[in-house]
Chain A
């Protein structure tokens, strides 16, 4: 049920985000609202439910690109696992901690997306020029994540994720 709620919310947020970035006139900067959701489930949900939610958020992002390749579901699940592992060491369940995790995840996700884009594009994929938009993207995604935090907490209050990463 929570999986469906998160997936529905991700779909709504991505739809709104695609309109907002157009009205803001942003060229290579985006607001990673889907990633804010992935970070949240990585810090609070159970492993299987969180992994499915991350996959769904990535799949939705992939479908929105116009050329779905499978890159974003992969990156979403990878981000989920990395955040979950880091969450064992650093507490990210407070609003501030969560904001830091969203910022770090957005930065890492953007770099990984650029790397994989560069890996498969015919002429470098414009990776260098797209890097310019990453700092603002980190800022906007963190702000969006913090704004969404109370809503996400209502869906998944889970304060006690099972310890030990995948166990």
Chain B
């Protein structure tokens, strides 16, 4: 036995290095494992490097574009003033709607789940493999980020946290092939499921019946039915609506509301679901 092991030492070692991860992969599939000590160590070392590189790249980018940005600053400022005035008017209208919303919720007996302060995080890196679409942020377990928490920007939904260790976390983007979001079409209130296509640019609108009035340009928002994303968050805009000759459902793609390849700052939302009282009190 010892002679056998000694004689075939190299093939045995290489074989073990080949077979062990394959068995691990086939047994866990696409789900992935919980972070172990080695994973935590790797992330603890790499996150500061990524943060430093991000800082350096941002600095160089800002310096290069600084002078260019000054050109036309006056015109831009005037445009901003005009936009601000419009925004003030819109905010006033929304305040009215919010007050009305609160009255209606009180009348219906809705229960607001506790919403802690959202966590502001900076994107420090992209996943270096193309098969999983995810980003790394500079807030993690230590700051209260937990797997499953929704991540967004003021423009809309980014994705959800899939792993959180120490001072960093990984966020699966909406465009990942494993991503599923419960959604509703804002104009028609038709429910749908939005799935990632894995190409980094588009999402797929699923489970919408072909006879529904769905058009290019319809806005898609979260429905809150998936238990992860709070309702009413902007997901994207419907494109390429098609009604195949056979089948119950129409086909359409959704352009994400957020430019996921260039997102820099995000908000992580600690559980923020709003549920009817009847759903939480039995």
Contact = CB atoms under 8 A, between A and B. Distances in A.
Interface of A: 11-12, 14-23, 25-31, 33-34, 47-48, 51-52, 54-55, 58-74, 77-78, 81, 110, 113-114, 116-117, 120-127, 129-130, 132-133, 137, 166-167
Nearest to B32: A67
Nearest to A126: B198
Interface string B40-53: 00110110011001
A61 B39 contact: no
Given A68-B33, A121-B178, A15 B11 contact: no
B127 A64 contact: yes
The 5 tightest CB contacts between A and B, nearest first, are A126-B198, A27-B200, A66-B170, A67-B32, A129-B199
B110 interface: no
Contacts of B11: 166
Contact of B125 (A15, A28, A47, A73): A15
B18 to A, nearest CB: 5
Contacts of A121: 30, 177-178
Interface of B: 9-11, 13-14, 17-18, 20-26, 28-33, 35, 38-39, 42-43, 45-46, 49-50, 53-54, 57, 61, 123-132, 134-136, 162-163, 170-172, 175, 177-178, 195-202, 260-262
Contacts of B32: 65-69
Contacts, number: 203
A127 to B, nearest CB: 7
A100 to B, nearest CB: 22
Contacts of A123: 177, 195
The A interface is mostly helix, strand or loop, or mixed, namely: helix
B198 A129 contact: yes
Given A28-B200, A121-B178, A18 B162 contact: no
Nearest to B8: A166
A48 B25 CA distance: 22
A72 B129 contact: yes
Given A121-B178, A126-B197, A167-B10, A65 B127 contact: yes
A63 B18 contact: no
Given A15-B125, A30-B128, A74-B22, A66 B10 contact: no
B13 A77 contact: no
Given A52-B17, A67-B163, A60 B25 contact: no
5 contacts: A30-B129, A63-B43, A70-B28, A120-B30, A125-B178
A21 B126 contact: yes
Contact of B130 (A59, A110, A124): A110
